[in-house]
Structure 1
Amino acid sequence: MLRFAVIVILSWWVAGAAHAQTPGRFDGWASAIVAADWRTSDGQPIQAFDNARRDLVSGFLAAGFSRADMYDATLRPDVTPVVTGDAAIRGITEVAGRAQRGCLLYFTSHGSPQAMVFGQVQRLTPTRMATMVNEICGARPTVIVVSACYSGIFVDGLAAPNRMIMTAARRDRPSFGCSEDAEHPYFDGCVIQSLPTASDFIALANAARTCVKTREEAEGLTPASEPQVSIGSDMQLLLPTLRFTRPPG
Protein backbone atom coordinates (compact mmCIF):
# COMPACT_ATOMS: atom_id res chain seq x y z
CA MET A 1 0.00 0.00 0.00
CA LEU A 2 2.85 2.39 0.88
CA ARG A 3 4.58 1.58 -2.38
CA PHE A 4 1.36 2.31 -4.31
CA ALA A 5 0.92 5.65 -2.52
CA VAL A 6 4.50 6.64 -3.34
CA ILE A 7 3.97 5.77 -7.02
CA VAL A 8 0.79 7.86 -7.14
CA ILE A 9 2.47 10.85 -5.52
CA LEU A 10 5.45 10.60 -7.88
CA SER A 11 3.08 10.39 -10.85
CA TRP A 12 1.29 13.55 -9.73
CA TRP A 13 4.64 15.33 -9.23
CA VAL A 14 5.94 14.30 -12.66
CA ALA A 15 2.70 15.37 -14.34
CA GLY A 16 2.75 18.72 -12.53
CA ALA A 17 6.40 19.33 -13.39
CA ALA A 18 5.79 18.49 -17.04
CA HIS A 19 2.83 20.87 -17.13
CA ALA A 20 4.88 23.64 -15.54
CA GLN A 21 7.65 23.18 -18.11
CA THR A 22 5.33 23.09 -21.14
CA PRO A 23 6.04 26.15 -23.28
CA GLY A 24 3.15 28.57 -23.60
CA ARG A 25 1.70 29.14 -27.04
CA PHE A 26 2.94 32.73 -27.02
CA ASP A 27 6.37 32.08 -25.53
CA GLY A 28 8.89 33.91 -27.66
CA TRP A 29 6.28 36.33 -29.02
CA ALA A 30 7.07 40.02 -28.80
CA SER A 31 4.13 42.27 -27.94
CA ALA A 32 3.72 46.04 -27.89
CA ILE A 33 0.78 48.15 -26.73
CA VAL A 34 1.03 51.88 -27.36
CA ALA A 35 -1.37 54.68 -26.44
CA ALA A 36 -0.32 57.10 -29.17
CA ASP A 37 -2.64 60.01 -28.37
CA TRP A 38 -4.06 61.58 -25.20
CA ARG A 39 -6.58 64.13 -26.44
CA THR A 40 -10.16 64.53 -27.52
CA SER A 41 -10.83 65.60 -31.09
CA ASP A 42 -10.76 69.23 -29.91
CA GLY A 43 -7.46 68.88 -28.07
CA GLN A 44 -8.59 68.38 -24.46
CA PRO A 45 -6.59 65.83 -22.42
CA ILE A 46 -8.32 62.51 -21.67
CA GLN A 47 -7.45 59.18 -20.06
CA ALA A 48 -9.31 56.82 -22.41
CA PHE A 49 -6.29 55.79 -24.47
CA ASP A 50 -4.11 55.26 -21.40
CA ASN A 51 -6.88 53.35 -19.64
CA ALA A 52 -7.04 51.10 -22.68
CA ARG A 53 -3.28 50.57 -22.66
CA ARG A 54 -3.34 49.62 -18.98
CA ASP A 55 -6.22 47.16 -19.31
CA LEU A 56 -5.01 45.68 -22.61
CA VAL A 57 -1.65 44.94 -20.98
CA SER A 58 -3.45 43.08 -18.18
CA GLY A 59 -5.72 41.27 -20.63
CA PHE A 60 -2.97 40.03 -22.93
CA LEU A 61 -0.78 38.98 -20.00
CA ALA A 62 -3.69 36.90 -18.70
CA ALA A 63 -4.10 35.43 -22.21
CA GLY A 64 -0.55 34.10 -22.18
CA PHE A 65 1.83 36.84 -23.34
CA SER A 66 5.05 37.39 -21.39
CA ARG A 67 5.67 40.62 -19.50
CA ALA A 68 9.40 40.23 -20.16
CA ASP A 69 8.73 40.33 -23.90
CA MET A 70 6.07 43.06 -23.80
CA TYR A 71 6.64 46.76 -24.43
CA ASP A 72 3.99 49.33 -23.53
CA ALA A 73 4.09 53.08 -23.58
CA THR A 74 2.04 56.25 -23.59
CA LEU A 75 3.10 59.04 -25.93
CA ARG A 76 1.42 61.80 -23.94
CA PRO A 77 3.77 64.72 -23.15
CA ASP A 78 2.51 65.45 -19.63
CA VAL A 79 4.09 62.39 -17.96
CA THR A 80 7.65 61.63 -16.89
CA PRO A 81 9.61 60.34 -18.66
CA VAL A 82 8.19 61.58 -21.95
CA VAL A 83 8.24 58.92 -24.68
CA THR A 84 8.40 60.16 -28.26
CA GLY A 85 7.14 58.28 -31.27
CA ASP A 86 10.72 57.46 -32.29
CA ALA A 87 11.51 56.18 -28.80
CA ALA A 88 8.43 53.94 -28.89
CA ILE A 89 9.51 52.46 -32.22
CA ARG A 90 12.96 51.79 -30.75
CA GLY A 91 11.35 50.08 -27.76
CA ILE A 92 9.20 47.89 -29.98
CA THR A 93 12.20 47.04 -32.14
CA GLU A 94 14.26 46.07 -29.10
CA VAL A 95 11.68 43.67 -27.67
CA ALA A 96 11.03 42.15 -31.11
CA GLY A 97 14.76 41.63 -31.53
CA ARG A 98 14.93 39.23 -28.59
CA ALA A 99 11.51 37.56 -28.92
CA GLN A 100 11.34 36.33 -32.50
CA ARG A 101 8.61 33.68 -32.68
CA GLY A 102 5.82 36.16 -33.39
CA CYS A 103 4.61 39.75 -33.04
CA LEU A 104 1.57 41.40 -31.50
CA LEU A 105 1.38 45.14 -32.16
CA TYR A 106 -1.54 47.14 -30.73
CA PHE A 107 -1.93 50.89 -31.28
CA THR A 108 -4.75 53.02 -29.88
CA SER A 109 -5.00 56.63 -31.04
CA HIS A 110 -6.82 59.16 -33.17
CA GLY A 111 -6.82 58.74 -36.93
CA SER A 112 -7.71 60.53 -40.13
CA PRO A 113 -8.32 59.27 -43.69
CA GLN A 114 -4.59 59.76 -44.26
CA ALA A 115 -2.74 58.67 -41.10
CA MET A 116 -2.80 57.77 -37.39
CA VAL A 117 -1.57 60.16 -34.69
CA PHE A 118 1.66 58.83 -33.17
CA GLY A 119 2.73 61.25 -30.46
CA GLN A 120 2.97 65.02 -30.44
CA VAL A 121 4.18 65.55 -33.99
CA GLN A 122 4.43 62.24 -35.79
CA ARG A 123 1.84 60.63 -38.00
CA LEU A 124 1.90 57.02 -39.22
CA THR A 125 0.67 56.77 -42.79
CA PRO A 126 -0.20 53.35 -44.25
CA THR A 127 3.13 53.33 -46.11
CA ARG A 128 5.13 54.17 -43.01
CA MET A 129 3.21 51.67 -40.91
CA ALA A 130 3.85 48.91 -43.46
CA THR A 131 7.56 49.75 -43.60
CA MET A 132 7.81 49.74 -39.80
CA VAL A 133 6.05 46.39 -39.43
CA ASN A 134 8.17 44.85 -42.21
CA GLU A 135 11.36 45.98 -40.47
CA ILE A 136 10.33 44.99 -36.95
CA CYS A 137 8.42 41.74 -37.49
CA GLY A 138 9.45 40.55 -40.95
CA ALA A 139 8.09 37.16 -41.96
CA ARG A 140 7.21 35.91 -38.47
CA PRO A 141 3.51 35.41 -37.54
CA THR A 142 2.12 38.86 -36.73
CA VAL A 143 -1.11 40.28 -35.33
CA ILE A 144 -1.60 44.03 -35.77
CA VAL A 145 -4.44 45.93 -34.12
CA VAL A 146 -5.06 49.58 -34.99
CA SER A 147 -7.73 51.28 -32.91
CA ALA A 148 -8.44 54.68 -34.45
CA CYS A 149 -10.89 56.47 -36.68
CA TYR A 150 -10.50 55.52 -40.35
CA SER A 151 -8.03 52.78 -39.34
CA GLY A 152 -9.17 50.59 -42.21
CA ILE A 153 -6.70 52.58 -44.32
CA PHE A 154 -3.96 50.32 -42.94
CA VAL A 155 -5.41 46.98 -44.03
CA ASP A 156 -4.26 46.82 -47.64
CA GLY A 157 -0.67 47.88 -46.96
CA LEU A 158 -0.26 45.49 -44.03
CA ALA A 159 -2.00 42.44 -45.49
CA ALA A 160 0.25 39.39 -45.97
CA PRO A 161 -0.02 35.61 -45.58
CA ASN A 162 1.70 35.76 -42.17
CA ARG A 163 -0.48 38.54 -40.75
CA MET A 164 -3.80 39.18 -39.09
CA ILE A 165 -4.99 42.78 -39.04
CA MET A 166 -7.80 44.16 -36.86
CA THR A 167 -8.95 47.76 -37.14
CA ALA A 168 -11.52 49.75 -35.20
CA ALA A 169 -13.23 51.12 -38.30
CA ARG A 170 -13.55 51.04 -42.06
CA ARG A 171 -11.21 53.23 -44.06
CA ASP A 172 -14.01 55.78 -44.56
CA ARG A 173 -15.60 55.66 -41.09
CA PRO A 174 -14.81 57.14 -37.66
CA SER A 175 -14.81 55.06 -34.50
CA PHE A 176 -16.30 56.14 -31.17
CA GLY A 177 -15.42 56.56 -27.50
CA CYS A 178 -12.75 59.28 -27.37
CA SER A 179 -14.70 61.77 -25.26
CA GLU A 180 -13.67 63.16 -21.88
CA ASP A 181 -16.10 60.89 -20.03
CA ALA A 182 -15.18 57.65 -21.86
CA GLU A 183 -13.30 54.98 -19.92
CA HIS A 184 -11.97 53.41 -23.13
CA PRO A 185 -12.44 53.98 -26.84
CA TYR A 186 -15.36 51.72 -27.73
CA PHE A 187 -13.33 49.28 -29.83
CA ASP A 188 -10.64 48.90 -27.15
CA GLY A 189 -13.29 48.43 -24.51
CA CYS A 190 -14.84 45.65 -26.55
CA VAL A 191 -11.46 43.93 -26.98
CA ILE A 192 -10.84 44.20 -23.24
CA GLN A 193 -14.34 42.86 -22.49
CA SER A 194 -13.94 39.95 -24.92
CA LEU A 195 -10.41 38.83 -24.00
CA PRO A 196 -11.31 36.82 -20.87
CA THR A 197 -13.64 34.49 -22.80
CA ALA A 198 -12.25 34.48 -26.37
CA SER A 199 -10.41 31.28 -27.25
CA ASP A 200 -8.04 32.83 -29.80
CA PHE A 201 -7.49 35.91 -31.95
CA ILE A 202 -10.16 34.94 -34.49
CA ALA A 203 -12.76 34.57 -31.74
CA LEU A 204 -11.55 37.82 -30.20
CA ALA A 205 -12.02 39.71 -33.47
CA ASN A 206 -15.52 38.33 -33.97
CA ALA A 207 -16.55 39.07 -30.39
CA ALA A 208 -15.14 42.60 -30.50
CA ARG A 209 -16.94 43.39 -33.76
CA THR A 210 -20.24 42.12 -32.36
CA CYS A 211 -19.70 44.11 -29.17
CA VAL A 212 -18.98 47.34 -31.10
CA LYS A 213 -22.03 46.85 -33.32
CA THR A 214 -24.28 46.23 -30.32
CA ARG A 215 -23.04 49.28 -28.46
CA GLU A 216 -23.28 51.61 -31.44
CA GLU A 217 -26.82 50.46 -32.21
CA ALA A 218 -27.88 50.83 -28.57
CA GLU A 219 -26.58 54.41 -28.51
CA GLY A 220 -27.84 55.29 -31.98
CA LEU A 221 -24.37 56.12 -33.29
CA THR A 222 -24.08 56.51 -37.05
CA PRO A 223 -22.49 55.77 -39.40
CA ALA A 224 -21.48 52.41 -37.96
CA SER A 225 -17.69 52.12 -37.60
CA GLU A 226 -17.62 48.55 -38.99
CA PRO A 227 -14.33 47.19 -37.57
CA GLN A 228 -12.28 45.34 -40.18
CA VAL A 229 -10.45 42.01 -40.02
CA SER A 230 -7.94 40.60 -42.51
CA ILE A 231 -6.42 37.15 -41.99
CA GLY A 232 -3.62 35.92 -44.26
CA SER A 233 -3.61 32.36 -45.57
CA ASP A 234 -0.84 31.16 -43.24
CA MET A 235 -2.53 32.72 -40.22
CA GLN A 236 -5.85 31.06 -41.03
CA LEU A 237 -4.14 27.76 -40.31
CA LEU A 238 -1.97 28.94 -37.41
CA LEU A 239 -4.31 31.09 -35.33
CA PRO A 240 -6.69 28.29 -34.21
CA THR A 241 -3.66 26.56 -32.65
CA LEU A 242 -2.65 29.70 -30.73
CA ARG A 243 -5.26 29.48 -28.02
CA PHE A 244 -5.28 32.00 -25.21
CA THR A 245 -4.31 30.84 -21.74
CA ARG A 246 -7.15 30.40 -19.30
CA PRO A 247 -6.86 29.93 -15.52
CA PRO A 248 -7.64 26.37 -14.42
CA GLY A 249 -11.31 25.96 -13.68
Structure 2
Amino acid sequence: MRGAAAVIGLLALLFAPMQPARAAGPFSNWTAVVVAGDFHAHSGGPTEAFDNARRDVSRALVDLGFEKDAVQQFSVRPQRYPADSPGRSEARTIYDALRTRAETAKAGCLFYISTHGSPEGVILGEQMLRPHLLAAMLDDACPDRPSVVVISACFSGVFIQPLQKGDRLILTAARPDRASFGCGEDDKYPYFDDCFLATAPSARDFATLGAGVQACVARREKDTGTEPASEPQVWIGPALRPMLPLYAFNRSKSKTP
Protein backbone atom coordinates (compact mmCIF):
# COMPACT_ATOMS: atom_id res chain seq x y z
CA MET A 1 0.00 0.00 0.00
CA ARG A 2 2.80 2.38 0.82
CA GLY A 3 4.39 1.75 -2.58
CA ALA A 4 1.14 2.43 -4.37
CA ALA A 5 0.65 5.65 -2.44
CA ALA A 6 4.16 6.78 -3.34
CA VAL A 7 3.53 6.11 -7.04
CA ILE A 8 0.24 8.02 -6.94
CA GLY A 9 1.95 10.94 -5.24
CA LEU A 10 4.73 10.97 -7.84
CA LEU A 11 2.23 10.92 -10.68
CA ALA A 12 0.32 13.79 -9.09
CA LEU A 13 3.49 15.86 -9.02
CA LEU A 14 4.39 14.99 -12.59
CA PHE A 15 1.02 15.93 -14.01
CA ALA A 16 0.19 18.88 -11.78
CA PRO A 17 -0.19 22.13 -13.74
CA MET A 18 2.99 24.17 -13.62
CA GLN A 19 2.81 27.60 -12.00
CA PRO A 20 4.08 30.28 -14.36
CA ALA A 21 7.18 32.10 -13.14
CA ARG A 22 6.60 35.73 -12.32
CA ALA A 23 8.23 37.90 -14.91
CA ALA A 24 10.92 40.18 -13.58
CA GLY A 25 9.95 43.84 -13.84
CA PRO A 26 12.28 46.71 -14.76
CA PHE A 27 12.80 47.56 -11.07
CA SER A 28 13.01 44.02 -9.70
CA ASN A 29 16.76 44.28 -9.14
CA TRP A 30 16.79 47.87 -7.85
CA THR A 31 17.23 49.10 -4.31
CA ALA A 32 15.39 52.11 -2.90
CA VAL A 33 15.49 54.23 0.24
CA VAL A 34 12.65 56.55 1.27
CA VAL A 35 13.45 59.02 4.05
CA ALA A 36 11.49 61.33 6.33
CA GLY A 37 14.14 63.84 7.37
CA ASP A 38 12.24 65.83 10.01
CA PHE A 39 9.06 65.86 12.09
CA HIS A 40 8.69 69.59 12.68
CA ALA A 41 6.21 71.80 10.88
CA HIS A 42 7.28 75.22 9.64
CA SER A 43 5.75 76.58 12.85
CA GLY A 44 8.10 74.47 14.97
CA GLY A 45 5.33 72.17 16.20
CA PRO A 46 5.12 68.48 15.30
CA THR A 47 3.78 67.23 11.98
CA GLU A 48 3.16 63.81 10.49
CA ALA A 49 3.46 65.15 6.93
CA PHE A 50 6.98 63.87 6.24
CA ASP A 51 6.40 60.43 7.75
CA ASN A 52 3.06 60.12 5.97
CA ALA A 53 4.92 60.79 2.73
CA ARG A 54 7.66 58.31 3.65
CA ARG A 55 5.12 55.56 4.33
CA ASP A 56 2.87 56.14 1.32
CA VAL A 57 5.59 56.85 -1.22
CA SER A 58 7.15 53.51 -0.22
CA ARG A 59 3.83 51.79 -0.93
CA ALA A 60 3.48 53.65 -4.21
CA LEU A 61 6.91 52.48 -5.37
CA VAL A 62 5.86 48.87 -4.81
CA ASP A 63 2.75 49.52 -6.90
CA LEU A 64 5.00 50.89 -9.66
CA GLY A 65 7.11 47.74 -9.77
CA PHE A 66 9.70 47.90 -7.00
CA GLU A 67 10.07 44.81 -4.83
CA LYS A 68 8.62 45.41 -1.36
CA ASP A 69 11.70 44.08 0.42
CA ALA A 70 13.93 46.36 -1.65
CA VAL A 71 12.30 49.58 -0.37
CA GLN A 72 13.94 50.65 2.88
CA GLN A 73 12.31 53.36 5.01
CA PHE A 74 13.96 55.82 7.41
CA SER A 75 12.44 58.16 9.99
CA VAL A 76 13.63 60.64 12.58
CA ARG A 77 11.34 58.88 15.06
CA PRO A 78 11.49 55.22 14.01
CA GLN A 79 10.14 53.93 17.33
CA ARG A 80 6.86 55.74 16.60
CA TYR A 81 6.15 53.59 13.53
CA PRO A 82 6.66 49.91 14.46
CA ALA A 83 4.43 48.71 11.62
CA ASP A 84 6.86 50.14 9.05
CA SER A 85 10.07 49.23 10.92
CA PRO A 86 12.00 52.22 9.55
CA GLY A 87 15.65 52.80 10.25
CA ARG A 88 16.85 56.02 11.84
CA SER A 89 17.31 59.01 9.54
CA GLU A 90 21.07 59.47 9.74
CA ALA A 91 23.40 59.89 6.79
CA ARG A 92 25.72 57.05 7.77
CA THR A 93 22.87 54.64 8.49
CA ILE A 94 21.20 55.39 5.18
CA TYR A 95 24.45 55.13 3.25
CA ASP A 96 25.35 51.79 4.83
CA ALA A 97 21.90 50.35 4.11
CA LEU A 98 21.92 51.57 0.51
CA ARG A 99 25.43 50.29 -0.15
CA THR A 100 24.73 46.89 1.40
CA ARG A 101 21.56 46.34 -0.65
CA ALA A 102 23.16 47.69 -3.81
CA GLU A 103 25.92 45.06 -3.62
CA THR A 104 23.36 42.43 -4.65
CA ALA A 105 20.61 44.56 -6.27
CA LYS A 106 22.80 45.98 -9.00
CA ALA A 107 20.32 47.16 -11.63
CA GLY A 108 19.60 50.60 -10.18
CA CYS A 109 19.04 52.81 -7.14
CA LEU A 110 16.36 55.23 -5.98
CA PHE A 111 16.68 57.83 -3.23
CA TYR A 112 13.65 59.81 -2.00
CA ILE A 113 13.59 62.26 0.90
CA SER A 114 10.79 64.43 2.28
CA THR A 115 11.92 67.12 4.72
CA HIS A 116 12.72 70.81 5.21
CA GLY A 117 15.39 72.47 3.13
CA SER A 118 17.55 75.53 2.77
CA PRO A 119 19.98 76.86 0.14
CA GLU A 120 22.67 74.78 1.91
CA GLY A 121 20.89 71.42 1.77
CA VAL A 122 18.11 69.49 3.50
CA ILE A 123 17.42 68.55 7.11
CA LEU A 124 18.24 64.96 8.01
CA GLY A 125 17.46 64.53 11.70
CA GLU A 126 20.10 66.48 13.58
CA GLN A 127 22.23 66.84 10.46
CA MET A 128 22.28 68.89 7.30
CA LEU A 129 22.50 66.70 4.20
CA ARG A 130 24.36 68.84 1.70
CA PRO A 131 24.30 68.29 -2.06
CA HIS A 132 27.91 67.20 -2.43
CA LEU A 133 27.60 64.72 0.45
CA LEU A 134 24.50 63.12 -1.11
CA ALA A 135 26.28 62.98 -4.46
CA ALA A 136 29.24 61.20 -2.86
CA MET A 137 26.94 58.74 -1.05
CA LEU A 138 25.10 57.79 -4.24
CA ASP A 139 28.18 57.67 -6.44
CA ASP A 140 29.90 55.31 -4.01
CA ALA A 141 26.92 53.10 -3.11
CA CYS A 142 25.43 52.87 -6.61
CA PRO A 143 28.19 53.19 -9.22
CA ASP A 144 27.70 52.45 -12.89
CA ARG A 145 23.94 52.01 -12.86
CA PRO A 146 20.81 54.14 -13.42
CA SER A 147 19.55 56.11 -10.43
CA VAL A 148 16.54 58.22 -9.56
CA VAL A 149 16.78 60.96 -6.92
CA VAL A 150 13.68 62.72 -5.59
CA ILE A 151 14.08 65.56 -3.10
CA SER A 152 10.95 67.03 -1.57
CA ALA A 153 12.09 70.15 0.30
CA CYS A 154 12.36 73.90 0.03
CA PHE A 155 15.24 75.11 -2.19
CA SER A 156 15.85 71.51 -3.29
CA GLY A 157 16.88 72.63 -6.78
CA VAL A 158 20.33 73.27 -5.28
CA PHE A 159 20.89 69.51 -5.53
CA ILE A 160 20.53 69.26 -9.30
CA GLN A 161 23.95 70.45 -10.46
CA PRO A 162 26.02 68.46 -7.91
CA LEU A 163 24.00 65.29 -8.54
CA GLN A 164 24.06 65.38 -12.33
CA LYS A 165 25.25 62.18 -14.04
CA GLY A 166 24.50 60.80 -17.46
CA ASP A 167 22.47 57.88 -16.09
CA ARG A 168 20.56 59.78 -13.40
CA LEU A 169 17.10 61.36 -13.17
CA ILE A 170 16.60 64.11 -10.57
CA LEU A 171 13.24 65.46 -9.43
CA THR A 172 13.09 68.29 -6.89
CA ALA A 173 10.19 70.07 -5.21
CA ALA A 174 11.46 73.57 -5.93
CA ARG A 175 13.89 75.79 -7.77
CA PRO A 176 17.20 76.51 -6.02
CA ASP A 177 15.83 79.87 -4.86
CA ARG A 178 12.25 78.94 -3.98
CA ALA A 179 10.41 77.42 -1.03
CA SER A 180 7.93 74.56 -1.35
CA PHE A 181 4.68 74.25 0.58
CA GLY A 182 2.49 71.98 2.69
CA CYS A 183 4.64 71.45 5.79
CA GLY A 184 2.11 72.63 8.38
CA GLU A 185 1.09 70.82 11.54
CA ASP A 186 -2.23 69.76 9.97
CA ASP A 187 -1.00 68.91 6.47
CA LYS A 188 -1.24 65.24 5.55
CA TYR A 189 1.61 65.59 3.04
CA PRO A 190 3.73 68.41 1.62
CA TYR A 191 2.25 69.59 -1.68
CA PHE A 192 4.99 67.94 -3.72
CA ASP A 193 4.59 64.52 -2.09
CA ASP A 194 0.82 64.75 -2.38
CA CYS A 195 1.20 65.40 -6.11
CA PHE A 196 3.73 62.58 -6.48
CA LEU A 197 1.24 60.16 -4.95
CA ALA A 198 -1.68 61.52 -6.98
CA THR A 199 0.22 61.40 -10.29
CA ALA A 200 2.00 58.06 -9.91
CA PRO A 201 -0.97 55.77 -10.73
CA SER A 202 -1.37 57.23 -14.22
CA ALA A 203 2.28 57.97 -15.04
CA ARG A 204 4.12 55.90 -17.64
CA ASP A 205 7.62 56.33 -16.22
CA PHE A 206 9.62 58.70 -14.02
CA ALA A 207 9.86 61.33 -16.77
CA THR A 208 6.08 61.56 -17.20
CA LEU A 209 5.68 61.34 -13.44
CA GLY A 210 7.97 64.35 -13.03
CA ALA A 211 6.04 66.38 -15.59
CA GLY A 212 2.75 65.42 -13.97
CA VAL A 213 4.00 66.44 -10.53
CA GLN A 214 5.10 69.81 -11.90
CA ALA A 215 1.63 70.46 -13.32
CA CYS A 216 -0.10 69.22 -10.18
CA VAL A 217 1.99 71.42 -7.86
CA ALA A 218 1.36 74.46 -10.05
CA ARG A 219 -2.41 73.87 -9.87
CA ARG A 220 -2.31 73.29 -6.12
CA GLU A 221 -0.35 76.46 -5.44
CA LYS A 222 -2.67 78.50 -7.66
CA ASP A 223 -5.76 77.07 -5.96
CA THR A 224 -4.41 77.81 -2.48
CA GLY A 225 -2.88 81.19 -3.35
CA THR A 226 0.61 80.20 -2.23
CA GLU A 227 3.38 82.19 -3.84
CA PRO A 228 5.92 82.60 -5.25
CA ALA A 229 5.52 79.35 -7.18
CA SER A 230 7.93 76.63 -6.10
CA GLU A 231 8.51 75.41 -9.68
CA PRO A 232 9.58 71.76 -9.20
CA GLN A 233 12.52 70.75 -11.36
CA VAL A 234 13.14 67.66 -13.51
CA TRP A 235 16.58 66.81 -14.87
CA ILE A 236 17.26 63.71 -16.98
CA GLY A 237 20.78 62.60 -17.85
CA PRO A 238 21.54 62.21 -21.57
CA ALA A 239 22.50 58.53 -21.22
CA LEU A 240 19.30 57.69 -19.33
CA ARG A 241 16.84 59.56 -21.54
CA PRO A 242 16.80 57.10 -24.47
CA MET A 243 16.59 54.19 -22.02
CA LEU A 244 13.44 55.43 -20.25
CA PRO A 245 11.10 53.10 -22.22
CA LEU A 246 12.95 50.22 -20.55
CA TYR A 247 11.91 51.59 -17.17
CA ALA A 248 8.19 51.85 -17.73
CA PHE A 249 6.17 51.29 -14.57
CA ASN A 250 5.02 47.71 -14.13
CA ARG A 251 1.23 47.73 -13.79
CA SER A 252 0.98 43.95 -13.60
CA LYS A 253 2.06 43.85 -9.95
CA SER A 254 -0.70 43.49 -7.38
CA LYS A 255 -1.54 46.64 -5.49
CA THR A 256 -0.37 47.01 -1.91
CA PRO A 257 -3.13 46.91 0.72
Fold in common (TM above 0.5): yes
Match of 2:136, SS state, is: helix
**Which structure 2 residues correspond to residues 1-249 of structure 1 after superposition, within 5 A?**
17=20, 20-76=21-77, 79=80, 83-85=88-90, 86-119=92-125, 121-247=126-252
Q: Is the 8 A contact 1:202 1:240 kept in 2?
A: no
Q: Deviations over 1:181-202 (max 9, x none)?
A: 1110100010001111111111
Aligned twin of 2:7: none
Normalised to the residue count of structure 1, the TM-score between the two structures is 0.88
CA distance in 1, matches of 2:222, 2:43: 25
Unpaired stretches in structure 2, ≥5 consecutive residues: 1-16
- The Cα offsets for residues 146-189 of structure 1, whole Å up to 9 and x where unpaired, read as 00000000000001101000000000000000001111010001
Q: Is the 8 A contact 1:70 1:95 kept in 2?
A: no
Identical counterparts, % of pairs? 40
Q: Report the AA paired with residue 167 of structure 1.
A: T
What amino acid sits opposite 2:155 in the alignment?
Y
8 Å contact from structure 1 (residues 36, 76) kept in 2:
no
Partners of 1:82 and 1:68 in 2: CA distance: 14
Alpha-carbon distance between aligned partners in 2 of 1:140 and 1:247, rounded to the nearest angstrom: 24
- In the TM superposition, residue 83 of structure 1 has moved relative to its aligned partner by 1.5
User: CA separation in 2, counterparts of 1:66 and 1:129?
Assistant: 24
TM-score, normalised via structure 2 length? 0.85
**How far does residue 84 in structure 1 lie from its aligned partner after superposition?**
4.3
SS in 2 for 1:89: helix
Please say if residues 43 and 184 of structure 2, whose CA atoms lie closer than 8 Å, have aligned partners that are also in contact: no
3-state SS of paired residue (1:172): coil
How many residues are aligned here? 233
Q: Which is worse superposed, 47-56 or 37-46?
A: 37-46
Residues in 1 aligned to 2:94 and 2:246: alpha-carbon distance in whole angstroms: 30
What's the secondary structure of 1:203's corresponding residue?
helix
Q: Which residue identity does 1:197 align to in structure 2?
A: S
Q: Give unmatched runs, 5+ long, in structure 1.
A: 1-12
CA distance in 1, matches of 2:58, 2:204: 17
- Shift in Å at residue 91 of structure 1? 1.9
d(CA) in 1 for partners of 2:166, 2:251: 28
Quick one: structure 1 residues 84 and 205, their matched pair in 2 at CA, closer, same or farther if it must change by over 3 Å?
closer
Q: Residues of 1 paired with 2:154 and 2:219: CA distance?
A: 18
Q: In the aligned structure 1, how far is the partner of 2:234 from the partner of 2:87? A: 33
Cα displacement (A) at 1:75:
1.8
Shift of 1:128: 0.9
How far apart are the structure 2 equivalents of 1:245 and 1:28? 13
Higher gyration radius (CA):
2
Shift >4 Å, 4+ stretches: none
Deviation of residue 23 (structure 1)? 1.4
**Deviation (angstroms), 1:88:** 2.6
CA drift at 1:246 = 1.3
